[in-house]
Homo-oligomer: A and B are copies of this chain.
Amino acid sequence: MLLGFLPVQAQTHASASANDTIRYVDASQFQIIGQITRQGLESPYDRLPAYLKDSIRKELWDLGKNSSGVAVRFRTDSKRITARWEVLNNMWMNHMTPVGIKGLDLYTLEGNRWIFVGSARPGHGKAVFTSRFIDNMDGQMREYMLYMPLYDCATKVEIGVYSRSKISGPAPNVYFPGKPVVVYGTSITQGGCANRPGMSYTSILSRKMNREFINLGFSGNGRLDYEIARLMAEKDASCFILDNMANCTAPMLDRLEGFIKILREKHPETPILLLGNARYTFTRFNTVSAKEVAEKDNRLSEIYNKLRRTDKNLYYMSAQDLIGNDEEATVDGTHFTDLGFIRMSDAIYPLLDKIVRKTE
Residues of chain A whose beta carbon lies under 8 Å from any beta carbon of chain B: 1-5, 7, 9-11, 13-15, 92-99, 103, 108, 115-119, 121-124, 134-138, 186-188, 192-193, 195-196, 199, 204, 219-220, 246-249, 280-282, 284-289, 292-293, 327-335, 337-339, 342
A289 contacts which of B11, B280, B331 (Cβ < 8 Å)? B11
| Distance to closest chain B CB from A69 (angstroms) | 17
Measured in the bound complex, the distance between the Cα atoms of B193 and A7 in whole Å is: 13
**From A5, A122, A327, residue with most partner B Cβ within 10 Å:** A5
When C-beta atoms are compared, the residue in chain B nearest to A332 turns out to be B119
Contact A11 B282 (CB under 8 A): yes
Contact B116 A332 (CB under 8 A): no
Contact B137 A287 (CB under 8 A): yes
A338 contacts which of B187, B292, B328 (Cβ < 8 Å)? B328
Which residues does chain B contribute within 8 Å of A136, judged by CB atoms?
285-289
Contact A195 B331 (CB under 8 A): yes
Contact B3 A97 (CB under 8 A): no
Which residues does chain B contribute within 8 Å of A115, judged by CB atoms?
284, 327
Measured in the bound complex, the distance between the Cα atoms of B248 and A296 in whole Å is: 54
Measured in the bound complex, the distance between the Cα atoms of B95 and A122 in whole Å is: 9
Which residues does chain B contribute within 8 Å of A186, judged by CB atoms?
3
Q: A1-B293, A3-B188, A5-B192 are in contact. List 19 more A-B contacts (CB 8 A).
A: A1-B249, A3-B280, A5-B335, A11-B282, A13-B286, A94-B97, A94-B98, A94-B99, A95-B119, A115-B284, A116-B281, A116-B328, A117-B282, A119-B331, A119-B332, A195-B337, A199-B337, A331-B338, A339-B339
When C-beta atoms are compared, the residue in chain B nearest to A14 turns out to be B288
Which residues does chain B contribute within 8 Å of A196, judged by CB atoms?
331-332
| Distance to closest chain B CB from A236 (angstroms) | 30
Measured in the bound complex, the distance between the Cα atoms of B289 and A13 in whole Å is: 8
Contact B121 A95 (CB under 8 A): yes
When C-beta atoms are compared, the residue in chain B nearest to A80 turns out to be B286
A220 contacts which of B4, B96, B247, B339 (Cβ < 8 Å)? B4
**From A97, A98, A246, A339, residue with most partner B Cβ within 10 Å:** A97
Measured in the bound complex, the distance between the Cα atoms of B116 and A327 in whole Å is: 6
Which residues does chain B contribute within 8 Å of A287, judged by CB atoms?
136-138
List 5 A-B residue pairs with CB atoms under 8 Å apart, sorted by A's residue number: A1-B289, A11-B282, A94-B122, A97-B193, A134-B286
Which residues does chain B contribute within 8 Å of A15, judged by CB atoms?
288
Measured in the bound complex, the distance between the Cα atoms of B4 and A98 in whole Å is: 19
Which residues does chain B contribute within 8 Å of A124, judged by CB atoms?
92, 94
Contact A288 B13 (CB under 8 A): yes
Measured in the bound complex, the distance between the Cα atoms of B115 and A92 in whole Å is: 28
When C-beta atoms are compared, the residue in chain B nearest to A252 turns out to be B2
Which residues does chain B contribute within 8 Å of A9, judged by CB atoms?
220
Measured in the bound complex, the distance between the Cα atoms of B202 and A241 in whole Å is: 38
Which residues does chain B contribute within 8 Å of A10, judged by CB atoms?
280, 332-334
Which residues does chain B contribute within 8 Å of A332, judged by CB atoms?
7, 10, 99, 118-119, 121, 196
A117 contacts which of B98, B134, B285 (Cβ < 8 Å)? B285
